[in-house]
Structure 1
Amino acid sequence: MPEKGGKCLNILMVTMGMNIGGAETHIVELAAALVANGNRVTVASAGGVYEAALSRNGVPHVTLPLDKKSPGALLAARRGLAALLRKENFDIVHAHARIPAFVCGSLQKKFGFRFVTTCHGVFRLSPILKRLSDWGEYTFVVSDDIRQYLLQNYDLNPAHIISTVNGINTEVFSPLHDGSAMRKTFPGAERPTLLHVSRLERESSVCAEALLEAVQILGGKVRLIIVGDGAYAGVLRQKAEQVNDNLGEGTANLVGAKTNVVDYIAACDIFVGPSRAAMEAMSCAKPTIISGSEGHGGIFSSSIEAAALASNFCFRGAGLPTPERLAHEIEILLSYGEEEKKRVGIEGRECILRHYSVEKMVSSYLSVYEKITAYKTDVPSDVVICGYYGYGNAGDDSLLSRIVDGIRRIRPSIGICVMSAHPKKTRRFYLVDAVNRFRLFAIRRKLKEAKLFLFGGGNLLQDKTSTHSLLYYTKMLHEADRCKTPIMVFANGIGPLSATKNIYRVKEALSLAESISLRDGYSFDFTKQLLPEKNIRLTFDPAIQIHPVSIPLPEKPYFIIFPKKNAPDAADKLIYLTGSLQSRQSLTPYLISLYDEEDLEYCRRLSERTGAVLLRPHSDVEIVSLLAGAELAVSSRLHGLIYATAAVCPMMSFSDDGKLASYLDYIGFGRHAAIPCTTDIYTDAEYLLMAAERILLYRDKIRTALRGGLPMWQTLAEYEFSEAVRLIQEAPAHQKNQKKE
C-alpha cells in the first residue's frame, strides 16, 4: 500500500528510450519503488534493454518514437500518447527528457493531467529549443547546479523546482555481490580491471576515449571493460582493436549495452566514470575516479564530496579528462595496499548510504505527486484573489505565493483564481486559474461562481501613486458585492490617502467586507476610526513566514541595500553610507532590486558608483537566506524590511513612504523606540551613517528582540489563512441567506 495512507496513484513516465544511461536506471529504480509502494506505473519510450527490468517489477512499457526530433516521429509519439491518455486515467504524467516533455506539454491542456518533469542534466541552449522546452508544473533536479541552470535560463517558479536524488539500491549494488565469474569471462583475469559504463554517443564518450589512451600509457598493466552502446561505439571499437594489437588481446573490451551492470562492477578493481554509474560503483565499495564528458573530479574522497554532491557526480566545468591525468590517478590507486583500497571503497559507499537511498528519492517524488493531485485548476474557483499581481514586483509576488500556499496548506482542493496582468504566466507559475485583471466581464463570471473575494495584500487602497489605482480597487470591491461574493480584506495596508473624497471611497468600499485584517498599526487605527463598528484585526504580512535555508553566503561580513529611486540626492546619500560602512565597519555592500521595472537600472548605476555587487536572487526564500547572514539591511521598500524581520537581520528604512515607518513602529523599532531604525530620504548623510552605526552597535539586542517577536507575528499571519478557508467553507449558506434577503 502507498506510504502514510496515501491514495494509489496512476503514473505515466515518459522518456526517450530505455537503453544504458543514468536517467534510464533512475527511472527503473523509481518505477519499481513506486509500484512496491502500491502505485501503478506505466513507462512510455522508444524502448531498450531495460524493458525487461521494468517488466520484472510489474511496470508495463509502451513503445513510441520518443527518441526522434523529426516532425513525423513527434506526431506519431503525440498520437500514441493521446491514445494512452484516453485509455488510462493518469493522475501524474512525468517526463524525463526534453522531447517527451515537449510532447506531453502539448497534450496537457486537452487531457488536464498534472505534469512534472525531471531534469537529469544541463542541455545545449538555442532560442528555439528554449522556447520549445516545457518543464512542467513541478521540476525535479538531481543536483544543485542543474537547479541553477534552470533558474538562470528559464522563467520557472523556484518553489516548484524540487531537489531529489539518484536513488541507489544499496542492497543490489553491494560489496557482497560476487564478481568472480564475470571476471573470468575476459582474457587476462590476473590484471587489475578498469570499468567504464556510459552511453556511447560522440558527445558522451570523452572519458571512454581518454581511457583507451590511458591504458596504452600504462603499458598493459591493466585491462579495460567498457559497457554501453550508441552511435560512437564503432569508433571506440576500432580504437580498442588498436590497443589490443599493441598490448595484447583482452586489454580493451567493449561489451555493448548490458542490464547486469552490477556483475561488471563486482568484477572490476577500479571504476572510472561519472554520475549514476559512478554512484553505483561507490555503493559496491569500489575505488572510483569520477570523470566524464562534462568534467573530471578525480579519485573520490571526502575532500571532493561536496563538489560531487552539488554536480550529481558530474563535475561540470571542472576541466575534461585527459589520458595523462587518468593514467596518473589509476597509477595512484594501483599503488595502494589492500587496506587502503578498502578504505577508499568504504568511504564511497558511506557517502551513497548517507545521501542516495531509494527511499529518499521516492519520498521526494511522492510528496509532490500527492500534493499536486489535490490541486483543482479545471473547476469553478472557490476564491478570487485580487492584488497587484503579474507585474514582477517581488513584494507582491511574495504575497501571492504565501497566500496560495497558505490556503492550500490547510485545504489543497480549494480552487483558486488570481486577477493578474499576465494571466498565462500566473497560471503556470502558481498552478492556479487566472483572469486578466482588466477584463471586467470575465472577472464578473469568476466572482459569480466564487465563494470568496480575497482582496489580497499590500497597500492597494492609497492615492499616492494615483487616484486611478484607487478607483480600480474600490470598483473591484463593489463588483464583488454586486455579485454577492463575500469579501475578505487580507493583510492590507491602508493609505496614504490625501484627498477627502478618496477617504470616503475607501470607507464605503471597506464597509462591504465581511472580514478585514490590516498589517500595520497606522492602517489599523485609521480604519478603526473610519469603521468603528467593524471587527478589524491587526495581523502581519504573510511574507513573515518565509524561513531561511542553507545557501552559499559571502565570506566577509556584509550588508544589503534594497534601493528605490526617490529624491534626486538619495543616491548620493546611499553612496556616502556605502563607502563609510566599507571603510569604518569593514562591511562589504550588496544591492538587491525588489521591483526590476523601477529599481533595476537604478541599482546598476549605484553598483557602478559604489563598487557594490548587484545580487540577482531567484526567490524570496533566497533573499531571506542572504539576509540571515547579513549584519544590516537598508531598505527603501517595505518588503525589504519584512524579509529582514523574517531573517532576524538588523534593519533600517531609508524612504519617504510612511508605510515603512509605520511597519517599524509596529515591530518596536520606530522613531520613538530605544533603538530607532527609521530614516527618510531627507535625512542628512551624516545622520544616516550615524543611525546605521548605532543599529550595528546594538545588532545583538535587535536580533534578540526580532527573534522574540517572530513566533507571534508568524502566528498572526497563519491565522488569516484559516479565516480565509473558514469563509470559503461557510460561503454557500451565506450566499443563500443573501439571495433570500
Structure 2
Amino acid sequence: MARTLIERGFDPERIVKIYNGMDFDRPKGEFDRVAYLRDTYGAEIEDGDVLCGIAARLTAVKDIATTIRGFAEALKSAPQLRLFIAGDGEDEDMLKKLCDQLGVRERVTFCGWVSPVMPFFRAMDINLLSSVSETFPYSILEGVCAGCATICSDVGGMPELIDTGENGYIFPVGDDKRLAEYLVRLGNDAELRQKFADALYEKASRDFSRDKMCERQMENYRHLLARFHRPKNERESIVICGAYGRGNAGDDAILEAIVQEMRQLDPERTICVMSRRPKETRLIYRTNAIYTFNVFSVLRKFRHAALYINGGGSLMQDVTSTRSIWYYCYTLYAAKKRGCKVMMYGCGIGPINRPGNRRMAARTIDASVDRITLRDDNSRALLAEMGVTRPDIRVSADPTIILTPAPREIVNIALEQSGIDPNGKYIGFGLRNWKGLDTALPEIAAAANYAYEKHGLTPVFVPIEFPSDLMPAERVGALLHCPWHAVRTRQPIEVTIGILSRMKTVVGIRLHSLMFSAGQGVPVVGMSYDIKVDGFLKYIGSRTCLQLSSVKAEPLCRLIDECVSGALDNEVHRTAEMLRERESENVKGAAKLLNISEN
C-alpha cells in the first residue's frame, strides 16, 4: 500500500506503516488434534501425517490453486503431507475439481467456514498463504501464535516478518514449484519445522505484538509533533548528491548506506536525493527525490537544507567528462552560498587530469566544503597536491561497507534462478567495458580456465552495472572451455553482496565488486583501470593488484593461487573489520556538522 501511494505521487516521508499487532499469548491446555479434526471435519489422521493448513476466502486474490498445485507436487516426495483448507467462497467447486484432476482429493480436506480459528491452527504443522495481494494478514500471525511453521507468498509486509531460510519460507507469487520445494523440506524435517516455528514466534511476539503496534503509533505521533513544532524557517533537511539512478549497483549501494546512516543519526530529518530517476529513487529509498540536473529544484532544496552531502563515489574526476566535475563543484558552491553545511562523504578524488579543472576544483572545495571523509589515502594525497587545506579532512571508508548480505536462502534462490548451484565452488569476476579490455580478455579467460582446472572453481560473472557488465562477461565466456555462469538479472544490492560472499575469491575490474567482496572477507584480485582501484587496494594493504592495460595470465594465476590457498584469510578478515571501523568517520562528520551529539 505504501508503494502504491508513492507511485501515485504521495510524499514518501509523510507515509508511515502500521503493522497489525496481536496478543501472542500461546493457547493453554492440552489439545487433541486427532479428535478435533475427526469430530469437526470427519478427517482421520494417521501417525506420521504432517498437516498443512490455509485459512482464506476461496477467491481469486487468495490463489488457493497455487497451494493445491504445490501440494500435489510435494506429495511425490513427501507423501505424509495432508492439506486442510479453511474458508468458503466462489472458487470452491473449481478448487475441488483441481484436486480431482491432480489426483490428490483424498489428501485434501475442505473445512468450510471455520470459527473460532485458533483450534484449526493448533492442529496444523505448517501454515500456508498463497495470496497475490495482502497487507499484513492476521492468518499468518495466528498460525505463528499457534506454533505452526510458515510458508507464504511474497506479499505485503511478509518479508519484514519472515526471514526466508531462517524462520520460515517466502516464495514468489504463483510459484507452485518453489512452494512444493519448501513443503517437501518442512514435511520431511520435524526438527526444522520446530526450529522455524520457535524462531518466528520469538520475532513476531517481539516486533508485531499489540504493545509493539501501540509503541510504533506513539512514536509516529511524537515524530509528527516534533515536525509540527519545528520553526517554519529552521533548516532541517539533508540533500544527498551522487551518481544515483543509473542502474549501477555500486552507486545504489552508496545511496542506501548513506540514507540508512542519516536516518539512524536523526530519524526526524527529511532527506532529498538528487537522482537521474527520481520516481524510482522515491519508491526504493522512501525519500524525496529531484532530478539531478533540474538546477532550479536543486537550488530551492538548498535554501531549506541543513546539510548537503556530496558523494560517495568518485564525483570529483574528469575522466568521464569535464562537465560533470564542473557541475558537482557548482553544487558545492551553491549549497554553501545558500547557507548549507557541506560535506564530501566517504568519497574518492580523481583522477583530475586537466590543469584548469584541478585549479577550479581546489578553489571550490577549499572555499565551500566544511568536512571531507575519504575512502583511500591516494585521495588524501591528491587533495594535498591540489592545495586543499581548509576543510576538515579524514580518511574513512566507502559507506557500502556497512551493508549486509541478504539471508542465505534468498541468495540461494537468486543463484538457482541463474542456473547456479548454491553449494558449488566458484571464482567470481566483476568486469566492465574499458579501454584495454580487448587485449586483457584472453588473459582473463586463461586465468578462469586455470582456476577451474587447478582448483575446481567454476567462473561466475557478477554484474555491478546492469546490463552493461554482461557484455564483457559474454566475451570472456566465449573464450572459456570450462563451465561458467553469469547472473543475468538485476539483483538487489544485498543479494549481489551475498552472491559475492559465496565466492572463493573475486577477480574484479569494477571497484565495488572488490569492495563488496573484501567487506565480506573474500580475498580479491584487482585489475586496475583507474586510480580509485589502486587506491582502494593500497588502502587495505592488498598485494593482489595488476594494471588492466598489462594483465597477463601467468601473474593473474599466481595471485589466484595465493587467494585460494588460504594464506590471506586472516589478513582479509582483519581488513574487513578495519574498513567497518573506519567507516564510522563518515557518520561522525555528519553528526558534527548537524550539531548532533554522538552516543
TM-score over 0.5 for the pair = yes
Rounded Cα–Cα distance in structure 1 between residues aligned with 2:458 and 2:300: 53
Between the two structures, name the one with larger relative contact order (CA 8 Å, sep ≥ 6).
Answer: 2
Could you say if the C-alpha distance between residues 107 and 377 of structure 1 is closer, same or farther in structure 2, counting changes exceeding 3 Å?
farther
Q: What is the aligned-residue identity percentage?
A: 21
How many angstroms apart in 2 are the aligned matches of 1:544 and 1:556? 26
Question: Matches of 1:709 and 1:635 in 2, distance apart?
Answer: 17
> Cα distance, 1:635 vs. partner?
0.8
Distance 1:167 1:709, change over 3 A: farther
Name which of 380, 392, 411 aligns with 1:535: 392
Which position in structure 2 is the counterpart of 1:580?
Answer: 450
Structure 2 counterpart of 1:561: 429
Task: Please give the residue correspondences for 1:275-290 in structure 2 after superposition, counting only pairs within 5 Å.
Answer: 275=129
1:208-261 C-alpha deviation (Å, 9 max, x unpaired): 8999xxxxxxxxxxx999742111346789999xxxxxx9xxxx9976312223
CA distance in 2, matches of 1:273, 1:721: 43
Which sections of structure 2, spanning at least 5 residues, go unmatched? 72-81, 100-105, 131-138, 155-163, 413-420
The CA RMSD over aligned residues, in Å, is 5.0
1:369 CA drift (Å): 5.4
State the match for 2:416 in structure 1. Answer: none
Deviation at 1:103, TM superposition (A): 7.8
Change over 3 Å in CA distance of 1:640–1:369 after alignment to 2? farther
* Structure 1 CA distance for aligned equivalents of residues 70 and 274 of structure 2: 57
Asked whether the equivalents of residues 342 and 370 of structure 2 are also in contact (C-alpha less than 8 Å), the reply is yes
Maintained 8 Å contact 2:278/2:290: yes
Is the counterpart of residue 525 in structure 1 residue 381 in structure 2? yes
* Structure 1 position 421, deviation (Å): 1.2
Partner of residue 591, structure 2: 725
Query: Secondary structure at the residue paired with 2:441?
Result: helix
Q: Which moved more, 1:479-488 or 1:448-457?
A: 479-488
* SS of 2:176 mapped into structure 1: coil
Shift, 1:168, TM fit: 10
1:302-323 per-position Cα deviation (integer Å, ceiling 9, x unaligned): xxx97993257999534999xx
Equivalent residue, structure 1, for 2:526: 653
* Aligned position for 2:204: 360
In the comparison of the two structures, how many residue pairs are matched? Answer: 527
How far apart are residue 423 of structure 1 and its match? 1.4
Contact 1:274/1:313, CA 8 A, preserved across alignment: no
State whether residues 528 and 534 of structure 1, in contact with CA within 8 Å, keep that contact through their aligned partners in structure 2: no
Paired AA for residue 393 in structure 2: I
Cα distance, 1:701–1:307 mapped onto 2, change above 3 Å: closer
1:174-228 per-position Cα deviation (integer Å, ceiling 9, x unaligned)? 75368868855788999999997654348626888999xxxxxxxxxxx999742
User: Could you tell me how far apart the structure 1 residues matched to 2:241 and 2:216 are?
Assistant: 28
Provide the residue aligned with 2:473 in structure 1: 603
Displacement after TM superposition at 1:703 (Å): 2.2
Shift of 1:604: 3.2
Distance 2:217 2:240 in 1: 25
SS in 1 for 2:594: helix
Residue 625 of structure 1 is matched in structure 2 by: 498
Maintained 8 Å contact 2:87/2:113? yes
Q: How has the CA–CA distance of structure 1 residues 377 and 595 changed in structure 2, closer, same or farther, with 3 Å as cutoff?
A: farther
> Residues 498 and 691 (structure 1 numbering): CA distance in 2 closer, same or farther, change over 3 Å?
farther
Check 1:605–1:174 CA distance in 2 against 1; reply closer, same or farther (3 A cut). Answer: farther
Which residue number corresponds to residue 567 of structure 2?
A: 701
- In structure 2, what is the Cα distance between the partners aligned to 1:310 and 1:283? 17
CA contact (8 A) 2:426 2:504 kept: yes
Give the aligned partner of residue 44 of structure 1: none
Which residue of structure 1 aligns with residue 371 of structure 2?
Answer: 515
Greater Rg by CA? 1
Evaluate the alpha carbon distance shift between residue 514 and residue 117 of structure 1 in structure 2; reply closer, same or farther with a 3 A threshold: same
The TM-score normalised by the length of structure 1 is 0.60
Alignment correspondent of 1:200: 58
Alignment partners' CA distance in 2, 1:723 and 1:176: 59
Q: 1:597 to 1:256 in 2, by over 3 A?
A: closer
In 1: Cα distance, 2:312 partner to 2:45 partner: 73
CA–CA distance in structure 2, aligned partners of residues 649 and 190 of structure 1: 50
Instruction: Tell me the secondary structure at the aligned position of residue 559 of structure 1.
Output: strand
Q: Which residue of 2 aligns with 1:394?
A: 249
1:653-695 Cα offsets, whole Å, 9 max, x none, are 11321221122111112xxxxxx21101232523343442343
1:640 to 480, 488, 513: 513
Q: Distance between the aligned counterparts of 2:527 and 2:204, measured in 1?
A: 46
Cα distance change on mapping 1:724 and 1:582 into 2, 3 Å = same
Q: Is the alpha carbon distance of 1:360 and 1:500 closer, same or farther for their aligned partners in structure 2, counting shifts above 3 Å? A: same
Compared CA separation, residues 587 and 535, structure 1 to 2 (3 A): same
Matched position secondary structure for 2:334? helix
SS at match of 1:491: strand
SS in 1 for 2:115: coil
Q: 2: CA distance between counterparts of 1:554 and 1:181?
A: 42
Q: How many Å apart are 1:439 and its aligned residue?
A: 1.3
1:574-598 deviation per Cα after TM superposition (whole angstroms, max 9, x unaligned): 2122112212222111101111254
Deviations for 1:537-585, whole angstroms, at most 9, x for unmatched residues? Answer: 1221111223345423732321111101122212222212211221222
**Contact 1:452–1:486 (8 Å) recurs in 2:** yes
DSSP-derived class of the 1:356 partner: helix
> Map of 1:46-85 to 2, 5 A cutoff?
none
**How does 1:339-350 map onto structure 2 within 5 Å?**
350=194
1:350 Cα offset (Å): 3.4
Per the alignment, residue 91 of structure 2 pairs with: 232
Q: Secondary structure at the match of 1:481?
A: helix
CA distance in 2, matches of 1:257, 1:721: 55
* Change in 2 beyond 3 A, CA 1:362/1:608: farther
Give, in whole Å, the separation in 1 of the partners of 2:299 and 2:474.
Answer: 42
C-alpha distance in 1 between matches for 2:570 and 2:128: 47
Q: Give distance in 2, aligned partners of 1:587 and 1:272.
A: 38
Deviation of 1:280 (Å):
7.5
Q: 1:310 to 1:468 in 2, by over 3 A?
A: same
SS in 1 for 2:348: strand
Shift of 1:502: 1.4
Partner of 2:330: 475
Distance 1:593 1:315, change over 3 A: closer
Instruction: Show CA shifts across 1:78-103 (max 9, x none).
Output: xxxxxxxxxxxxxxxx68xxxxx858
Once structures 1 and 2 are overlaid, which stretch shifts more, 618-627 or 469-478?
618-627
> What aligned pairs does 1:301-316 form with structure 2 within 5 A after superposition?
309-311=168-170, 316=175
Residues 593, 227 of structure 1: CA spacing in aligned structure 2 closer, same or farther, 3 A cutoff?
Answer: closer
Gaps of 5+ in 1: 1-93, 96-100, 119-165, 212-222, 241-246, 295-304, 322-328, 330-342, 670-675, 732-741
- What SS does the corresponding residue of 2:549 show, helix, strand or coil? coil
Following superposition, the deviation at residue 398 of structure 1 comes to 1.3
Q: d(CA) in 2 for partners of 1:419 and 1:273?
A: 44
Moved more, 612-621 or 418-427: 612-621
Aligned-pair distance for 1:344?
10
Matched, 1:433 2:299: no
